[in-house]
Amino acid sequence: MAERRSTRPAGARGLRSARSERGGADRAQSARSRRPGDHPYEAGLEPGPANYAPLTPLAFLQRSATVYGTKPAVIHGEHVYTYAEFAARCRRLASALVRRGIGEGDTVAIVAPNVPAMLEAHYGVPLAGAVLNA
């Protein structure tokens, strides 16, 4: 009976053994919890505004409108909204909800297709302080 030889280069391991040796789940968790200063290049560098800016979805919306204001953010058929226009539409939705008494502690349910209004709801409802149930 002929001996079966591996076609892998010397030192190569299978995916399963590599994952088990490196602890795939542990490594993924470690990457998610990594903060500035954990990397050797960042040793002694505390998180600050110059190197670390945590963004909530609402802060991300405002930052995108400021940084990329004239760039296309939403394209749907013939409609193109810039980041500034999209953020303004989200703020208008939030204002309309607040005028109707929707605010902190309220839940807004929306059933809609994948259209700009649904995307606006994902930002406008939290801007009003409410929770979106989509």
Q: How confident is the model at residue 18 (pLDDT cuts 50, 70, 90)?
A: very low
Least confident of 4-8, 81-85, 89-93, 123-127: 4-8
- Spell out the residues 6+ positions from residue 63 whose beta carbon is closer than 8 angstroms to its own: 55
Percent residues over pLDDT 90 in the chain: 57
The predicted-structure confidence for 79-110, as pLDDT tens digits, reads as follows 999 999 999 999 999 999 999 999 999 999 99
End-to-end CA, the chain: 63
**Which pLDDT value is given to residue 101?**
98
The predicted-structure confidence for 54-71, as pLDDT tens digits, reads as follows 788 999 999 999 999 999
Fold designation for 58-133: Rossmann fold (3.40.50)
Helix, strand, coil fractions of the chain, as percent rounded to 5: 45, 10, 45
